[in-house]
Structures are given as C-alpha cells and as structure tokens.
Structure 1
Amino acid sequence: MHVPRFSLPRPSLFIALAALVGLTTHATAATPGIADEKPADGPSVKVDQGYMVPYTVRIPGTDIEFEMIPVSGGTYQMGSPDSEEDRNDDEGPQVKVEVAPMWVAKTEVTWQQYKEYMRMYSIFKDFEARGERTVSDDNMTDAITAPTELYDPTFTYEYGEEPMQPAVTMTVYAAKQFTKWLSRITNQQFRLPTEAEWEYAARAGTTTAYSFGDTADDIDDYAWYFDNALDGPGLVATKKPNAFGLYDMHGNAAEWVVDLYSEDGYARLADKQPVDAIESVQWPETPWPAVARGGSWEMDPPDLRSAARLASNDDDWKSEDPNFPVSPWWHTSDPSRGVGFRLFRSLEPLADEKINLFWDANDEETKDAVQSRIQGGRGGWGLVDESLPEAIEKMDN
C-alpha cells in the first residue's frame, strides 16, 4: 500500500521512592538520575548536584520500564542555514539558543507505555461511579483527562500496535496529559520538549542536516522512513542512536513539541538572541497548527532532517473522525499515523506556573472541546498522584 507523503525527597526516603518508581541507576543521591560520583563507564554530565547519569523508570503498578539519558546543556544555532539542501523557509532565520541540562527518553513513547495511560479512561469512570477520588474546583490542578476509547481502532492501529512500536495519532493535548499523569504518579517532572530543546537533542552536537552528516547516504542505518518501512513504523531502538544515545530522532514517529507553528519560522526570536530554550516557546492560542519534529516512517529523507518541521492540520488530520465534535484526544488520518512523542525532563524542575503550560491545554478551543465531551458523558476527569496506582489495585481487588 502506498502511504501518502507530506512535505524531592530526603536521602533516607530514596530507597522507598526507588521501590515505588522502579529506579535502576548508578545514582546514590536523592534525585533520580543523579550520582555522587562519575560512573566508570557510560554517559554522564557534571552538574552542581553531582553527575547526571542514565536511569530507568518503571511505571508504578506495572513492569513497564523506559530509560532516560542525560544531555548536557549548551548553546547552538536552531534552524537550518540558507545553504542546506532541501531547506524550507520555515526553518529560519537561524537563532542562537541556550539549552539547560536535561534528561531525554532513549526512545519515543511506545504503545506499551501509552496504553497504560489509555486505561485511565475506564478507571476514572469507575472511580466516578463509586464516588471515590472525586474531582472538584479545589483539586482540579491535580486532575487530568484520559483519552476516550477508540471509536474505530483501525484508524490508529492499521500499521500495528506492537508493544515496542511508537504510539501514534494522539493529539498534542493528549500527549501533554500523558506527561502530567506520568509525572504525578512517579514524582518526577516529565514533559514534552520545546522546539528548541528537541532540535538540540536531535542534533547531538552536530551542525549538519542530519545528526550523521549532510547527506542521507547512511539514513538506512539511523531511521525508519518511507522507503524502508512500507509496513508501518519499526520497533523503537532498532536503528543506530545519535551521539547522545537517543534512538529514532530521525524518522519512525515524528514527535510533538509544545510550540505553535508559524510559517515565518523563528523571525520573532531574531532580535532576542541568545534565546533561552524554555522561554523561546510560542504558546498556542489555537489547537493547531502545532509542531512535530523529526519526520516519520511515512516520509522521505528531506523531511527527517534535524531542522525539518511538520505543521499539524486538524481539518485534515481528523477528517475521518466519526465523532461530533471531533475528539480532542485523537487524530485519525495521515500523516498523524506517524506522529507520536518523546519524554523530556529538566535538571532543574520548572515552577508550577510554567510546568502547567506544558501539561494542560493552552487554548480556549481545546478547553471547550474537552468540557463539551465531558458534559456529554464521553470523557472525564481523574486525580493523579502517587496514591493512584495503589487505589487502582484496591479497586481491581
């Protein structure tokens, strides 16, 4: 089939926390991913707190794990130079960006991980029916929505739902709510990246069109894309990683960032250089066009370049949605079946006012759509905190 192509706690409590979250790391300090001493091997980043190191998180109440990789801070040029082959006008002007140290997930979020979040829809409905863990105006900041059950799974799963395939077709709002859910139950601040952070992680210190060079000659070694993935996305981490140890930054699934897309690229930042990567965000005032980066298995190599941008279009991406109004959690149509996301975590946690921008809806249209679905019985709120997994276990028993 031809697929369309498109241009914390005190040290004495760390053991208990590690047991809850499922940490496996070289770290000996109280902060997950921080070690007191430089490890003998593997990546590490020297910071004031010690050494940032790779660490593994287990989703509480499950055996599902994922790995976070330390990425040092630095300054780089975001966007592509005028001389780059296949460059698009929305990739410039290049601007100097300062990026703080962070951890980045080794792979894109997989169906194995995302389906645990999808389970929350029926779980929240059960709590609501029991009159337990009720959401009110007083605790709304601790609540999330979960994606409604798929009306027609063939839209989302036509090209696979293997546990280690990247999860796809969720809206950027649903991806943000996933990161809030995961953050609350693990007591770690996960989120989507800014566009500037994503490109910094993808480039991995390079200035070339791809993290492996200026041409696509070696792309089969690094990416699932249209010519080598005709049957759908590949399993994550089956190609080579970039220099930071991150897999599938080119291809497989394009990855959501929090920024609103604009055709004039980074012109609004040109007079503000150097720009802080967090403060560089153009926060959405409408649900779309949002930005996805990295290109997908449906696309050609030029769309997988480190600076390439994909703008969402809800009119097209939800054109086959049978719901009215259309879902704020799901897309149905290409290229959304190649769009997923990846987890990021700052070394220094963001203040509540800032992290809420990463977790919750920013625009009134999305807020109204969610509320409309909930009022119609096709959605619901649920409280998320470290006690949720235990509450679910008790309910199941």
Structure 2
Amino acid sequence: MLVTRWLAACVSFSLTIAAGLSSLAAADPVPGLVAAEPTTGRFVKTDAGYMVPYTATIPGTEIKFEMQPIPGGKFKFGSPDSEAGRDASEGPVLEVEVAPFWMASREVSWAEYKHYMRMHDMFKKLVLNETFKITDDLKPNLVTAPSNLYDPTFTFKLGAEPDQPAVTMSQFAAKQYTRWLSELTGQFYRLPSEAEWEYAARDGKTTKYFFGDDESKLGDYAWYYENSSETFHKLGTKKPSEWGLYDIYGNVGEWTLDEFTETGREKLAGKVIASQDAIVWPTKLFPRVIKGGSWDEDAAQCRAAARRKSDDDSWRSTDPNFPQSPWWFTEAAALSVGMRLMRPLTVPAQAEQRKFWDADIKQLQEDVAYRIDEEGRGARGIVTPDLPEQIKKIGQ
C-alpha cells in the first residue's frame, strides 16, 4: 500500500515537472481572460482576449487574493519627466516596453503567507507518512518551505493579523512562495521585475507618483513615515491607483527580481528594450532591489523610481545559525519588506519558468541544502494541485 502511494506520488510529481509546468501556459479556462468585451469594470484589450480583474482562492483554503490587469506599453524606466528629487543610484533612464500582465491589488498578506509557512511541517509529515519520497535526483525540482521562525516575536512584532502584510521573508522565500502558488493553482505567478513594478506603480503617468508630483497628497494613497505611527497597516485602507493597486507606495517595500546595481544598465541606454531584457539577474546574494518605500520611509523614497537595496549586515546579523537563514531576516529593517504577486499574460516556456523561482546563485543553493539536509531547518516538498487532498489524508 505504501509502495503504491509512493509510486503514485512520484508519477504525479514527474507529470508536474515534465508536463505540468507547461500546462501553466495552457490552463483552461484562463483566470482573468474573457472573449467578449466587458460592459462594466476595468479591462485591458489584448490579442488573446480581454484581461479583467479576478479573484483567486488558494486551493484547500478560503484565502482569497485579487489580481488586476495591467495594460502593456512603453515608459521611461528610472525617472519622471523632471529630474528633481531623483537619486543618482537609480541609474540611466531607459525606454522600456512592457507586455500586459496581472498584478495583485494588495501586498501578500499574513493569511496567504502563513498558509505557505505551514508547508514546512506538512512536507515533513508527508515524507514520514511515505506519501512521497525525497530522492537526490528530485531535490533540485522541489519547492522549499521556510524554516520555522527562530524568533517569531521579532517577525510578528508589528502584528500578524490575516489582513496585514507579511514581512521579513527573503527574496528567495518570496520567489519560492510564487512557485508553490503556481504549481498549486496551475497558473504562473512570480515576482515582478523592477521595470514591471515601476511601470505598474506609475499607472501610465510620467510624474513622481501616479497622482502627480505633489507630495502633500501622498497620505491619501500611502502609509509612510509621516502618517504611519511607525508601523505597517491593514492592506487596502488607502485609496488605490486607477489600475486598482493598493499600497503600491508605502506600507511595506516590495521585492523585485533584480540585483541592485548602479551600473548594470548603462549598456542599454538609448535603446527601446523589452522589460525582461532590463532585468539585472542577481550574481550575488546582496544587494537586491526593493521598490515602493514603506511605513518607515519618507515621501521621496516612495516615488515610483525610488529604489532600496537589501543589506546583509543590517538585515540578518543576529541570526545565530550558520549558514544564516535563506528564508528569513532578523533585523528591524526587514519589518518593512514584503512582496506582491504578478502574473504575465504570456507564460514563458517551461525551461524558463524556474529562473523566476529558484535559488539563483551557488551560495544560496548550498545554504538551502545545508539547512535542510544537515540541520533539518526548512523542508522540501512535491507540489501538485492535489496537495490539499494529500494533506487531508494524513489528518491535517
């Protein structure tokens, strides 16, 4: 019986890796895409149909999240029309062409992220129950779940209510969350690139903020240093952009895919480039790009073009483990960092999808393997759409 279950799980997993990921491009029906022009509400016309807002539910839960359609277009990446207030670290201004995509109307909440955190214990129980077996040849293809928190009181210091933004996760953990959600739902989710994030935050405008250049209006749309009382706030309590995005400025900063560099894009200046060609794929663990400002930053740092970089010493120096956690930060600066989902209209080929999800440098790959295999912190698991049923069968 156990052998039969293990073989069935391995077959299911093999189908997910060999064919399931490619099915992300061919899921039917496609959420948020309709054939007929809507008579009400926001929509984006494309060659594939009309993109509309949609609400998705995390399988096996009642937890919902909303996605908004973002139209394709060209924009000047890195600066408003005026250079006033622009920081030199924001690099050269590039003309970037962005393809249509959906972006989450709100930052990932604790309700969403805590369910993913549960996978740490669930994956371990599924292995002990022999529902599936983790073999060396499968390890590179598995989803990791973050280790249980070394000090939960720190991460939850500012609150951990279901409708508050999740914080202190590393970029790697954020990317693995998007992989877990993708393989669970059959839809391709990922972090936005810096260019995609900035394009969405501009709302089709060329000013510092989507509402203009007047900083005095920021409080209507954002929780930032002047009005936050030094903490983040419940999601969606300020006004959204015209594209339906709440808290795109302030509240918590948001991870992007990019490495933070002041010199990585000069060779692209003067050209019209696709947004994915503007990505600075990371070559080292730090620093990486966070966008949007936060509850702890001033108005200038909440501009669409503003950037923040992750930092090793000030983000995880009190982590007593070695190697330090690939999934969590332990310093106060990370209490202002979270994430937001995006989903492209055009799904990349199967071979390209993992580039958006997995550990991208050797050091990170080795740290993840050591923490899981040697220390037992963190877990790997097989994620397919029937994972909720597998969890139910072991009584969880």
TM-score > 0.5 by shorter chain: yes
Aligned: 1:208 with 2:207: yes
Shift of 1:59: 0.3
Aligned: 1:292 with 2:287: no
Distance 1:181 1:120, change over 3 A: same
Q: 3-state DSSP class of the match of 1:353?
A: helix
**Identity of paired residues, percent?**
48
What is the distance in 2 between the residues matched to 1:83 and 1:47? 32
**Equivalent position of 1:379 in the other structure:** 378
**Equivalent position of 2:350 in the other structure:** 352
**Equivalent position of 1:341 in the other structure:** 339
What is the distance in 2 between the residues matched to 1:233 and 1:310? 17
Question: 1:166-177 counterparts in 2 under 5 A?
Answer: 166-177=165-176
The aligned amino acid for 1:95 is L
What is the distance in 2 between the residues matched to 1:384 and 1:276? 32
Distance 1:81 1:36, change over 3 A: closer
Structure 1 gap segments, 5+ residues each:
1-28
The aligned amino acid for 2:205 is T
What is the distance in 2 between the residues matched to 1:86 and 1:335? 23
**Equivalent position of 2:29 in the other structure:** 30
**Equivalent position of 1:363 in the other structure:** 361
Distance 1:371 1:140, change over 3 A: closer
Q: 3-state DSSP class of the match of 2:212?
A: coil
**Equivalent position of 1:257 in the other structure:** 256
What is the distance in 1 between the residues matched to 2:211 and 2:264? 24
Structure 2 gap segments, 5+ residues each:
1-27
**Equivalent position of 1:10 in the other structure:** none
Residue 286 of structure 1 contacts residue 363 of structure 1 at CA under 8 Å; is this kept in 2? Answer: yes
**Equivalent position of 1:8 in the other structure:** none
What is the distance in 2 between the residues matched to 1:87 and 1:388? 47
What is the distance in 2 between the residues matched to 1:83 and 1:267? 20
**Equivalent position of 1:233 in the other structure:** 232
Query: What TM-score do the two structures reach when normalised by structure 2?
Result: 0.90
Residue 91 of structure 1 contacts residue 265 of structure 1 at CA under 8 Å; is this kept in 2? Answer: no
What is the distance in 1 between the residues matched to 2:54 and 2:179? 20
The aligned amino acid for 2:285 is P
The aligned amino acid for 2:366 is D
Aligned length: 368
Query: What TM-score do the two structures reach when normalised by structure 1?
Result: 0.90
**Equivalent position of 2:387 in the other structure:** 388
Residue 123 of structure 2 contacts residue 381 of structure 2 at CA under 8 Å; is this kept in 1? Answer: yes
Question: Alpha carbon RMSD of aligned pairs, Å?
Answer: 1.5
Residue 33 of structure 2 contacts residue 51 of structure 2 at CA under 8 Å; is this kept in 1? Answer: yes
Residue 183 of structure 1 contacts residue 190 of structure 1 at CA under 8 Å; is this kept in 2? Answer: yes
Aligned: 1:61 with 2:64: no
Question: 1:92-111 counterparts in 2 under 5 A?
Answer: 92-111=91-110
Shift of 1:142: 4.3
Shift of 1:141: 5.5
The aligned amino acid for 1:66 is F
Residue 81 of structure 2 contacts residue 207 of structure 2 at CA under 8 Å; is this kept in 1? Answer: no
The aligned amino acid for 2:214 is T
Residue 286 of structure 1 contacts residue 364 of structure 1 at CA under 8 Å; is this kept in 2? Answer: no
